A and B are shown apart, each in its own frame.
Chain A
Amino acid sequence: MSFLKPKTHIEQGDVVILYLSVNSMHAIEAVPTIVNKKGETIANIFQTSYGSLKVESIIGVEYGSRVELSKGWAYVLQPNPELWTQTLPHRTQIIYTPDISMILHQLEVRPGAVVIESGTGSGSLSHYFLRALKPTGHLHTFDFHEARADQAREEFKRHGLAEFVTVYHRDVCNLGFTSELDGVADAIFLDLPSPDLAVPHAFKALKLSGGRFCSFSPCIEQSQRCIQELTKLGFNEICSMEVLQQENVVKTRTVPVIDLEFLKSPKTSETPTINEDNKANKESKKYLTSSNPQILPGHTGFLTFATLPPNIAK
């Protein structure tokens, strides 16, 4: 239930982020016992690279506290869409925070908004939509893969978000978003191999007073076909962009400064000995620096946005 609103203490059943380091985080469920493969109920022990954690011991602990592991320690954090995106079980490729933030901004999602999403995938983006539109809005999310839709539905329930979301198992390219959703949406998001096939359905599902549209595609050809379709149906403000986030790695560096001036004059008897030469060479300066990592994400996908203007006959 730990996704609904900010809370202070871990309750039984909460998803908790076990934070070991920047590169090592786990999402665990705060339940004292689990059922093993043999069908026996056993104590819930979670294994990490710093040893094991008896999960029961974190129930009732304040979020943000340090908890002891058998060979070290970790922090327990309350999950949110950012941390969830980094720890969730991948069922598909997912979209990350920089693209998602732009999607939410451009789709103007705020509490009360009705949003349609396809496909649900691993639910990374869905959690962001839900945070932005609850408690007065609603998310309708579609996936053509039945098991994925079921898993997502189950997950939203466990996260305390079920009342704000409806999960559909449906192929929207062929079947559309159901007639019940005609004219209800403020915003529509598509992450599909052929977004152009779903554009006419999106057109129908958007409100008569207009709305915003977004399609995320890794390939430019998908965006091209999508834009042709959008133009045909009277969407305007069509624009496409790419957002890439860069990490700046912060480090204090000690840089040696070498002296070459003394080489200009010949050695005299008073010239420092070799030892002293070395000492002069070892002068150094400290700098606070930042640099980009060796490998960066160079491409995620093209984001295409458009507006359906008000009062277009459908």
Chain B
Amino acid sequence: MTALTTPNIQLGDYIVIQRQKYTKLQKFGSLDTTATLGKETLELKSLLDHPYGSTFKMCVKETKAGKRGAQRQHTLELCSETELGSTRENLGISSSGADNRDICDNGEAQALKSSDIEQLREACNESSKIIEKLVENSKTFHNRTEYSQEKYLLKKEKKYFEFVQIRQPTIRLMADIFYRQDADKVMGIRVDTLSQIISYSGVCGFGNYLLYESGTNGLLPAAMINAIGADTEGTLVHMHPGNVAQKQALLALKLPFEQQQRCISVNLYSVLREFYQNGTAAVDAVEASPKEEVNEPETDQPDTSTDEQSETTEPSTKKPKLDGETQSNPRTPPRWQLENKRAASLMHAKFDSLVMSAKEHPSSILQALIPLIRPSRPIVIFSTCKELLLETYMELKSTAKVTNLHLTSNWLRMYQILPNRTHPEVNMSGNSGYLLTGYTLQ
């Protein structure tokens, strides 16, 4: 990360596409990959080898009639920041009204018809030209107040903005994208709560950490292994209930191999079996019926995987590699079994903190995992449902194995801070989820 040059966009990378305030995580899998932003489809092939942070201009290639208006396909052209300017300056708008007393909402303000605008869109490549025409043909624009004009321009700019920036995924950007797209994708872990999970768990470059998580698209393990860092001695054991761990966010970080190796993802059931039955008997049983072993969790509960996740986690690299291994050396145990063994040996040595974000009731999982944590170490349990944590709080309190118990939630408010126009954002998120934290005792 000390490299002075920003890395270039490579095939196979996950990229963040940003158009104004909208961001999206996309896998740049092949040169034919396209990304969809609303009605716009972008061909990504021209991104290859350009540095992250570059801005590209969307150039209309073809327009198809779709169900909901025109669907446009764009190619992308590298452009310089200087092409981006304030629309207000570009248009040279000078006059504005004092208030809105003369403005009526009679639907006649805009002289252009929607079909005219569609034509304009195809004819002009630049949003500023389209907006210029819209302003020219608006009967009321010059009577609007300066603030109102600004708002109008921003609204139009948002619609016609033709630049996208390509950024490298980070935990910050991904936490934002996932939560905005669908908070359930990350089990409702809001940014402030995520940041506090990292703090309270104490996860850093030293020590061994234990995480149980039942589906955050890899965000939680990614955030933890990110905090553990490259070229450090920390390790993460990531337990999950499914056949394969959700790993999208982990893959998107494109971590160095040695760091990826220190995130050991294992199935909760099979690793606990490995740990308790610790020995050849269990391994034999597993070898005799590997299918049954791995599938066990699925029969116990509904599959939590989504389509997208199975697409992204179904490891294109892992599967063939496994096959290759078994072909060359049929004696080599499968990878998940090796990971189980690595995890079990760390479990015997015990961990320096426990983080849990479970769809299941946390209580039984906690009972199984708390003995694996050293004394005087933090535990952090997340849930969107307070009642589950209330029960867990009482259970922990009665065992006296954990002290300094706190149940907290958060309030997060965004502000618009502009000269003479400072106020809290109109909408705010109402549910941060809850954190139950404490320290283990001897």
Q: By the criterion CB–CB under 8 Å, are A250 and B206 in contact?
A: no
Q: B93 on the interface (CB 8 Å rule)?
A: no
Q: B232 on the interface (CB 8 Å rule)?
A: yes
Q: A242 on the interface (CB 8 Å rule)?
A: yes
Q: Which residue of A lies closest to B387 (CB)?
A: A288
Which of A78, A100, A102, A131 has a CB less than 8 Å from the CB of B204? A131
Q: Which residue of B lies closest to A10 (CB)?
A: B376
Given the complex of chains A and B, what is the CA–CA distance between A242 and B231 in angstroms? 34
Q: B377 on the interface (CB 8 Å rule)?
A: yes
Which of A80, A110, A223 has a CB less than 8 Å from the CB of B202? A80
1/0 per residue B398-414: CB within 8 Å of A? 00000111111111111
- Considering residues B229, B387, B410, B434, which has the most beta carbons from chain A within 10 angstroms of its beta carbon? B229
1/0 per residue B199-210: CB within 8 Å of A? 110101111000
Chain B: residues with CB nearer than 8 A to chain A?
1-6, 51, 53, 81, 170-172, 175, 191-192, 194-196, 198-200, 202, 204-207, 226-232, 352, 374-378, 386-387, 390-391, 393-394, 403-417, 419, 422, 434, 439-442
Q: Contacts A132-B227, A244-B411 given; indicate if A224 touches B422 (C-beta within 8 A).
A: yes
Q: Which residue of A lies closest to B196 (CB)?
A: A101
Which of B6, B374, B410 has a CB less than 8 Å from the CB of A98? B410
Given the complex of chains A and B, what is the CA–CA distance between A306 and B374 in angstroms? 39
Q: By the criterion CB–CB under 8 Å, are B199 and A220 in contact?
A: no
Q: By the criterion CB–CB under 8 Å, are A250 and B407 in contact?
A: yes
Q: A310 on the interface (CB 8 Å rule)?
A: yes
Q: Which of A91-110 contact B (CB under 8 A)?
A: 97-98, 100-102, 104-106, 108, 110
Q: By the criterion CB–CB under 8 Å, are A209 and B442 in contact?
A: no
Known: A105-B172, A111-B232. 10 other contacts (CB 8 A): A5-B207, A64-B441, A77-B439, A101-B199, A105-B175, A135-B205, A208-B4, A220-B415, A244-B411, A288-B394
Interchain residue pairs with CB less than 8 A apart (17):
A62-B376, A64-B442, A66-B441, A77-B376, A80-B202, A98-B410, A100-B199, A105-B191, A111-B229, A135-B206, A136-B229, A210-B6, A224-B417, A248-B386, A250-B393, A252-B394, A311-B53
Closest CB in chain A relative to B260 CB, distance in Å = 15
Which of B6, B196, B205, B416 has a CB less than 8 Å from the CB of A97? B196
* A contacts with B: majority SS: mixed
Given the complex of chains A and B, what is the CA–CA distance between A146 and B198 in angstroms? 33
Given the complex of chains A and B, what is the CA–CA distance between A189 and B266 in angstroms? 38
Chain A: residues with CB nearer than 8 A to chain B?
4-6, 8, 19, 22, 62-66, 75-78, 80-82, 97-98, 100-102, 104-106, 108, 110-114, 128, 131-132, 134-136, 186, 207-210, 220, 223-224, 227-228, 239-248, 250, 252, 288-290, 302, 304, 309-311
Closest CB in chain B relative to A224 CB, distance in Å = 6
Q: By the criterion CB–CB under 8 Å, are B408 and A240 in contact?
A: no
* B contacts with A: majority SS: mixed
- A-B complex: 3 closest residue pairs judged by Cβ atoms: A64-B375, A111-B229, A64-B376
Which of A128, A243, A309 has a CB less than 8 Å from the CB of B410? A243
Given the complex of chains A and B, what is the CA–CA distance between A128 and B416 in angstroms? 28
Closest CB in chain A relative to B176 CB, distance in Å = 10
Q: A64 — which chain B residues lie within 8 A by C-beta?
A: 374-377, 439-442
Q: Which residue of B lies closest to A128 (CB)?
A: B199
Q: By the criterion CB–CB under 8 Å, are B374 and A82 in contact?
A: no
Q: By the criterion CB–CB under 8 Å, are A245 and B408 in contact?
A: yes
Q: Contacts A75-B403, A78-B376, A250-B390 given; indicate if A223 touches B417 (C-beta within 8 A).
A: yes
Given the complex of chains A and B, what is the CA–CA distance between A86 and B155 in angstroms? 47
Closest CB in chain B relative to A160 CB, distance in Å = 11
Q: B440 — which chain A residues lie within 8 A by C-beta?
A: 64
Given the complex of chains A and B, what is the CA–CA distance between A223 and B3 in angstroms? 32
Q: By the criterion CB–CB under 8 Å, are B232 and A290 in contact?
A: no
Given the complex of chains A and B, what is the CA–CA distance between A25 and B40 in angstroms? 58
Q: A288 — which chain B residues lie within 8 A by C-beta?
A: 387, 390-391, 394
Q: Contacts A110-B227, A113-B1, A136-B229 given; indicate if A239 touches B199 (C-beta within 8 A).
A: no
Q: A22 — which chain B residues lie within 8 A by C-beta?
A: 404-406
Q: By the criterion CB–CB under 8 Å, are B376 and A5 in contact?
A: no
Q: By the criterion CB–CB under 8 Å, are B410 and A108 in contact?
A: no
Q: B230 — which chain A residues lie within 8 A by C-beta?
A: 111-112, 136
Q: By the criterion CB–CB under 8 Å, are B171 and A241 in contact?
A: no
Q: By the criterion CB–CB under 8 Å, are A304 and B394 in contact?
A: no
Q: B439 — which chain A residues lie within 8 A by C-beta?
A: 19, 64, 77
Q: By the criterion CB–CB under 8 Å, are A65 and B198 in contact?
A: no
Closest CB in chain A relative to B254 CB, distance in Å = 14
Which of B195, B206, B415 has a CB less than 8 Å from the CB of A302? B415
Q: By the criterion CB–CB under 8 Å, are A6 and B410 in contact?
A: no
Q: B415 — which chain A residues lie within 8 A by C-beta?
A: 220, 223, 240-242, 302
Q: Which residue of B lies closest to A289 (CB)?
A: B390
Given the complex of chains A and B, what is the CA–CA distance between A119 and B387 in angstroms? 41
Closest CB in chain B relative to A45 CB, distance in Å = 23
Q: Which residue of B lies closest to A97 (CB)?
A: B199
Q: B414 — which chain A residues lie within 8 A by C-beta?
A: 239-241
Q: Which residue of A lies closest to B191 (CB)?
A: A105
Q: By the criterion CB–CB under 8 Å, are B204 and A111 in contact?
A: yes
Given the complex of chains A and B, what is the CA–CA distance between A105 and B197 in angstroms? 11
Q: Contacts A135-B206, A244-B411 given; indicate if A105 touches B4 (C-beta within 8 A).
A: no
Q: Contacts A101-B198, A135-B232 given; indicate if A186 touches B1 (C-beta within 8 A).
A: yes
- Considering residues A75, A110, A247, which has the most beta carbons from chain B within 10 angstroms of its beta carbon? A110
Closest CB in chain A relative to B372 CB, distance in Å = 14
Q: B4 — which chain A residues lie within 8 A by C-beta?
A: 207-209
